[in-house]
Amino acid sequence: MHFGSTEWLHSDARRTAIGLDLDVEALDWCMENNVNKVGADVSSRIFLFHGNVLQPLEAKLVNVATQYLMQNEILGDSEDDSPDYKLMKDFQFPARDIVCAFNYSCCCLHTRQELVSYFKHALSALNKKGGIFVMDLYGGTSAEHELRMQRKFPNFTYVWEQAEFDIIKRKTRISLHFNLHKPQRKIRHAFSYSWRLWSLPEIKDCLEEAGFQSVHFWIRHMPDSEDIRSTYGLAAGRDIKYEEVTSFQQQDSWNAYIVGVA
Ligand SMILES: C[S@@+](CC[C@H](N)C(=O)[O-])C[C@H]1O[C@@H](n2cnc3c(N)ncnc32)[C@H](O)[C@@H]1O
């Protein structure tokens, strides 16, 4: 998580990045393994919040980037009796250029109402002169039934598991397992998500309803799940490019980036 943020910060000293997650463990991991390793110049410009994307203003700051906040007058005046933690609403962040939600996070939201509400919050954070919201989504016939896929890496094997797929609710459970090689150890259900697999037109309708000016799809097909049921690393199909499309024929497996323009 937030590798993208640190890249963004490295490439221009004026940039800031804000991360928001419901899972405090994920944020802690990010600080431990990512933020604390990038040097003070970068880590002082990243702000990690613990909270719900459906009530982002109530989210609590969990890392300490206060020196940058003070210098740049991002933190509003705090009252003496204010609690010793800061909420998103206490900040005056500049309008954002990019809001992104990757690794299919939107599938954690289960109702249309939640999805539209989330997209409205994302839009309200964006710069209206060219800001974009970017998210990813996968699909295809293989996405809508039970499936288990393995990817082998030098030090571990990673397993993506889809439980039964309910076609009325479009719900499934996604579990990620890891088999470490040295020392040999299995981490079953390292991550497990109750999942609603949205379709591309549903996402487009909800982005438009939330107020985005236009919505664009960048899609590529993925290697057939039959072929990659057990594959080595990320090499399979790596040379297939994403293309912007307005029509795309169904296949075994595809991956999409969806861009909403503010
Ligand atoms: C599939 S993971 C993707 C994580 C991250 N985007 C990444 O690329 O590593 C989904 C993440 O969304 C978070 N999440 C789910 N529902 C949320 C909500 N309502 N508000 C904030 N975060 C949420 C989960 O805690 C989880 O970390």
Residue of the nearest CA to atom 20 in ligand 1? Answer: 52
Of 1, 6, 22, 136, which is best to mutate to test ligand 1, by the most ligand atoms within 8 angstroms of its C-beta? 22
Task: Identify the DSSP state of 197.
Answer: -
Kindly state whether residues 149 and 75 are assigned to the same domain: no
Kindly state whether residues 106 and 213 are assigned to the same domain: yes
In this structure, are residues 159 and 149 in contact, taking their beta carbons and an 8 Å threshold?
yes
Kindly state whether residues 119 and 60 are assigned to the same domain: no
In angstroms, the CA 144 to CA 163 distance is 9
Q: Give the pLDDT confidence of 189-223 residue by residue, as tens digits.
A: 999 999 999 999 999 999 999 999 999 999 999 98
Whole-number pLDDT of residue 106 = 98
Kindly list the distances between the CA atom of residue 196 and the CA atoms of 5, 138, 170, 190, 228, in Å, as whole numbers in the listed order: 26, 12, 6, 19, 23
Ligand 1: does its nearest atom lie under 6 Å from the Cβ of 58? Answer: no
Number of domains in the chain: 2
Of 1, 3, 23, which is best to mutate to test ligand 1, by the most ligand atoms within 8 angstroms of its C-beta? 23
Q: Quick one: pLDDT band at residue 95, thresholds 50, 70, 90? A: very high
Report the pLDDT averaged over residues 105-114.
Answer: 98
Kindly state whether residues 141 and 175 are assigned to the same domain: yes
Q: Give the pLDDT confidence of 139-167 residue by residue, as tens digits.
A: 999 999 999 999 899 999 999 999 999 99
Q: Which amino acid is at 74?
A: I
Residue 77 pLDDT > 90, yes or no? no
Whole-number pLDDT of residue 109 = 98
Kindly state whether residues 80 and 121 are assigned to the same domain: no
Kindly state whether residues 178 and 257 are assigned to the same domain: yes
Report CA(174)–ligand 1 centroid distance (Å): 13
Kindly state whether residues 80 and 102 are assigned to the same domain: no
Q: Which of 94, 109, 143 is the last residue of a domain?
A: 94
Q: Give the pLDDT confidence of 7-58 residue by residue, as tens digits.
A: 889 899 999 999 999 999 989 888 888 777 788 888 889 999 999 999 999 9
Ligand 1: does its nearest atom lie under 6 Å from the Cβ of 102? Answer: yes
The H or E element that residue 178 is part of is strand 171-180
Q: Which of 37, 62, 94 is the last residue of a domain?
A: 94
- 165-200 CB burial, b ≥16 within 10 A, e <16: beeeebbbebbebbeeeeeeeeeeeeeeeebbbbeb
Residue of the nearest CA to atom 16 in ligand 1? Answer: 108
Domain that holds residue 113: 97-262
The structure tokens listed for 89 are: 């609403």
What is the CB neighbour count within 10 angstroms for residue 88? 19
Report the pLDDT averaged over residues 55-70.
Answer: 78
Query: Can you tell me whether residue 169 is helix, strand or coil?
Result: coil
Give me the CATH number covering residue 220. 3.40.50
Kindly state whether residues 149 and 244 are assigned to the same domain: yes
Whole-number pLDDT of residue 89 = 95
Ligand 1: does its nearest atom lie under 6 Å from the Cβ of 85? Answer: no
226 or 185: which leads in pLDDT:
185
Ligand 1: does its nearest atom lie under 6 Å from the Cβ of 105? Answer: yes
**Closest ligand 1 atom to 1 CA:** 9
Report CA(241)–ligand 1 centroid distance (Å): 26
In angstroms, the CA 226 to CA 49 distance is 40
List phi, psi (to 5°) of 140: 115, 170
Kindly state whether residues 138 and 211 are assigned to the same domain: yes
